[in-house]
A and B are shown apart, each in its own frame.
Chain A
């Protein structure tokens, strides 16, 4: 079974077949969201920034299936365009975390010694910071805006990636095939790239999926606070912020973006857990 899983998991399509129904449903949902985000200009009925001050805060109608916001903008269109911004933000943060975290974790686990001691202490210290607070600090330094905010979130997530990469490298390092590669005279770089990295990718893939959910929630929080996406661009967090301002007169405004965040974060988490079961057969019993 393990061999089958390991070989099959190399192709995304085969991986889909091995997932349970929850994982497949989540993957399909996320795929639809990504497509909706990419095709926003084609499928959104209105522009996300066109104002219609006569029809402000309208309830749902045939013309506006989710109503209009405080500037008369179509909520459905803003939701669809916001999908792109929110998903871009999540993927950016996780990409930054991976690019920083994986090499550092690999180096610490593979070379050990004083390098590992120092890196491990730094990881411990960085993990002591409440994530959002450190992200606000970094955003405050880099300057406000969606890209800066998500780079900040990526930096904050990187020690988590580094810790997992280090732990997995420690396990792989003592395998026989690493010794064999070394005996044949491979350089450390070659061993790391060709033998260690491919063997730690699967647990990393699980963690990256779970981090996408955390990054999505972080984007929502930072944009809500005004540190992320800047008006008039739509993102789910920014839409919630406007909904909050007009909560007393139009409480229904907070439901479309709220459910979008909840369902997407839930889908990332469920997909991550399903991937974990497929990629780590030892866990299947539980």
Chain B
């Protein structure tokens, strides 16, 4: 990377700071949405005065709002996301324990989305208006409107219950038996990836069509280059940044969608954790998972921002 590119990357890295600060503020302010006195509401119906006091102390509810936020932020920056209201477990530890299965299926789903989406989008653009394009575009429309957890149910029904090819539910340990873990992750990742493939096909196709209509591609045609070479060697360079942007958005989307997929496949990830905690009003865990997810997305965006200048030198400014 040249000096200028390095500077661009560093500058983009710095711009992430205000986003992180506002994100922490949003996570903190979730508590303010709790109707009534949060301590009483969160403690539940049969709470003892001690339990209510405990929640009040946990969130410093008798202090001014700014002090509450400052204290919460200070703790969060030290990795302290408080303790579960139900079990008393350390929230940070709980999240770290549940993170690997979530990251595994999201990563696999990203890989599947890109591996199927890119070739399909490119073929679709090259054969614009052809049979393959029509089918791919129609499939993409369905893929975006398809509830991914319903697809998961259909896959379980056909590939796990009626034909015993894949395990229906559960997750394998990535450390003890990586292959087994991947085997368990396959159906959930496939259900997640349907929307991802659809998104990539649509965006890539439309970006490629724009490039293929441009003057410089016409010149390449005139030079006698084959359509395949024009697309793979020239046009793909022009759409690489679009692809990066879509990949970033996809990561965000899949991290959200995995919550329902984890419920379907009974995967012990942070998605299952937040749903369980939201129903049980275990608010520190809810806040902790929302915070973890947004940090992951911001980190993903940061990586993509740093990669932009490498893929497209025009970004160096």
B261 nearest CB across to chain A (Å): 10
Taking a contact as CB atoms under 8 Å apart, the answer to whether A134 and B290 are in contact is yes
Taking a contact as CB atoms under 8 Å apart, the answer to whether B149 and A269 are in contact is no
Identity of the chain A residue whose Cβ is nearest the Cβ of B289 in the assembled complex? A133
* A136 contacts chain B at the CB level, 8 A cutoff: yes
Which of A50-58, A69-77, A117-125, A172-180 forms contacts with chain B?
Answer: A117-125
* B315 contacts chain A at the CB level, 8 A cutoff: no
- Chain A 113-149 per-residue mask, 1 if CB under 8 angstroms from chain B, else 0: 0000000011011101111111011111111100000
Taking a contact as CB atoms under 8 Å apart, the answer to whether B278 and A251 are in contact is no
State the main secondary structure of chain A at its contact with B: helix
Identity of the chain A residue whose Cβ is nearest the Cβ of B301 in the assembled complex? A128
- Chain A 51-91 per-residue mask, 1 if CB under 8 angstroms from chain B, else 0: 00000000000000000000000000000000000000000
* B279 contacts chain A at the CB level, 8 A cutoff: yes
Query: Interface size (A, Cβ < 8 Å)?
Result: 46
Given contacts A128-B298, A130-B252, contact A137 B145 (CB under 8 A): no
Residue of A136, A142, A144, A227 contacting most chain B CB atoms (<10 Å): A136
Q: Which chain A residues lie closer than 8 Å to B18 at the CB level? A: 121, 125
Taking a contact as CB atoms under 8 Å apart, the answer to whether B253 and A224 are in contact is no
B243 nearest CB across to chain A (Å): 19
Taking a contact as CB atoms under 8 Å apart, the answer to whether A130 and B293 are in contact is yes
Given contacts A224-B263, A247-B157, A269-B144, contact A137 B35 (CB under 8 A): no
Q: Which chain B residues lie closer than 8 Å to A240 at the CB level? A: 147, 149-150, 153
B266 nearest CB across to chain A (Å): 11
Taking a contact as CB atoms under 8 Å apart, the answer to whether B150 and A254 are in contact is yes
Which of A100-108, A162-170, A213-221 forms contacts with chain B?
Answer: A213-221
* B264 contacts chain A at the CB level, 8 A cutoff: yes
Which of A4-12, A35-43, A198-206, A260-268 forms contacts with chain B?
Answer: A260-268
Taking a contact as CB atoms under 8 Å apart, the answer to whether A137 and B264 are in contact is no
Given contacts A129-B297, A133-B289, contact A140 B281 (CB under 8 A): yes
| 10 tightest A-B CB contacts, nearest first | A130-B256, A140-B278, A125-B22, A265-B145, A141-B33, A266-B145, A132-B256, A258-B150, A137-B290, A140-B286
- Residues of A bordering B, CB below 8 Å: 121-122, 124-126, 128-134, 136-144, 213, 217, 220-221, 224-227, 240, 243-244, 247-248, 251, 254, 258, 261-263, 265-266, 268-270, 286
